[in-house]
């Protein structure tokens, strides 16, 4: 087995700063804007590499400046990008992000070349031989399912953006990492507003895998089924958030690295929560990707 493989999306981000997020049908005036590199998959790969993991990326970009920039950036961060295919006649995926004064965000994604990721892209040796495979849902569900079936190591799924998933896919997941809204959709329920309600939704999910529900500023809720298992609430360190974009991706990357190092799920979550909190103190999805020693000190 060898390292971590992230299967997922690569996007070019346009971020607009606003005083507050718009309501449906409302126009608000921005106070500034910037472009950057993102995509849940690429963000998670970059975060895992920053945390000290040996990481390879599988995905697709368009044959354009944004696509080549994304590949170059991953390589500069120490990520093996040989599994990223440049797709002719396709545009690179993009995301438009509004961020308010408190760091909360609203995101719209145009998948572009991410929609072209195929089953054959993920049925490769690097996926089969990985210690852990980390996947999200900004690529076709057929590719996600194929990655789960092909993985021999640990299979982690971040079910974002939220969508309904077949039970047979969820049953293949070793560690599921949703936020509360994603958890609610998977459970066919309203988003939970308490920890107890969150626990009820977790125990109703298909499969017997472990679950880590991210709770934003409240940290994360860890569930380990079994006679000796149960729930553990891991609290987050207090920080002054600037931009929460990519915090969940930072969490997933750090969590995966720690699990491949042999950490328990609770201990891995503690460091991942700290890393995610620190990541919110800078603008952009990859504005700050903490190293492991930074998370240990948080």
DSSP reduced 3-state for 206:
coil
Q: Per the structure, how many domains does the chain have? A: 1
Our answer to whether residue 121 is catalytic in this structure is no
Which range marks the domain in which residue 271 is found?
4-297
At 191, the pLDDT band (50, 70, 90 cuts) reads very high
CATH number at residue 124: 3.40.1190.20
CA 272 to chain CA centroid, Å, is 12
For position 181, what pLDDT does the model report? 95
Closest by CA position to 36, among listed 57, 65, 15: 15
For the entire predicted model, the pTM comes to 0.93
Say yes or no to pLDDT of 266 above 90: yes
- Average pLDDT over every residue of 112-131: 97
Closest by CA position to 175, among listed 87, 258, 96, 78: 258
For position 229, what pLDDT does the model report? 66
For position 1, what pLDDT does the model report? 62
State pLDDT tens for residues 10-69. Answer: 999 888 999 999 999 999 999 999 888 999 999 999 999 999 999 999 999 999 999 999
Mean pLDDT of the residues in the chain: 94
Q: In what order do the strands lie in the sheet with 105-110?
A: 30-38, 11-18, 93-99, 105-110
Say yes or no to pLDDT of 130 above 80: yes
For position 98, what pLDDT does the model report? 92
Say yes or no to pLDDT of 268 above 70: yes
Closest by CA position to 41, among listed 28, 19, 56, 27: 56
For position 227, what pLDDT does the model report? 61
DSSP reduced 3-state for 176:
strand
Residue 83 structure tokens? 């599994």
SS3 content of the chain, % helix, strand, coil (to 5): 35, 25, 40
Say yes or no to pLDDT of 281 above 80: yes
- Tell me the C-alpha distance between 76 and 198, whole Å: 39
Q: Which of 73, 80, 249, 293 is catalytic?
A: 249
């Amino acid at each position: 087995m060898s390292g971590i493989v992230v299967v997922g999306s690569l996007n070019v981000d346009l971020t607009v700063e606003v005083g507050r997020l718009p309501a449906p049908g409302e126009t608000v005036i921005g106070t500034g804007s910037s472009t950057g590199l993102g995509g849940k998959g690429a963000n998670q790969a970059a975060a895992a590499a920053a945390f000290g993991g040996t990481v390879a990326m599988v995905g697709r970009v368009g044959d354009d400046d944004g696509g080549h920039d994304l590949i170059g950036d991953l390589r500069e961060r120490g990520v093996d990008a040989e599994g990223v295919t440049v797709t002719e006649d396709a545009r690179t995926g993009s995301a438009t992000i509004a961020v308010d004064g408190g760091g909360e965000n609203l995101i719209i994604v145009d998948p572009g070349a991410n929609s072209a990721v195929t089953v054959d892209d993920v049925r490769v040796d690097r996926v089969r031989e990985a210690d852990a495979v980390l996947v999200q849902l900004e690529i076709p569900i057929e590719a996600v399912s194929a990655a789960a079936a092909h993985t021999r190591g640990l299979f982690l799924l971040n079910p974002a953006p939220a969508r309904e998933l077949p039970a047979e896919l969820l049953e293949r997941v070793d560690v599921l990492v949703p936020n509360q809204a994603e958890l609610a959709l998977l459970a066919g329920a309203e988003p939970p507003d308490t920890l107890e309600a969150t626990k009820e939704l977790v125990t109703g999910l298909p499969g017997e895998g472990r679950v880590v529900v991210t709770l934003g500023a409240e940290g994360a809720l860890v569930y380990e089924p079994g006679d000796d298992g149960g729930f553990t609430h891991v609290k987050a360190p207090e920080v002054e958030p600037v931009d929460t974009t990519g915090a969940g991706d930072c969490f997933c990357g750090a969590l995966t690295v720690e699990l491949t190092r042999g950490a328990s799920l609770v201990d891995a979550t503690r460091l991942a929560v700290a890393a995610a909190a620190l990541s919110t103190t800078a603008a952009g999805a990859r504005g700050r990707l903490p190293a492991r020693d930074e998370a240990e000190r948080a």
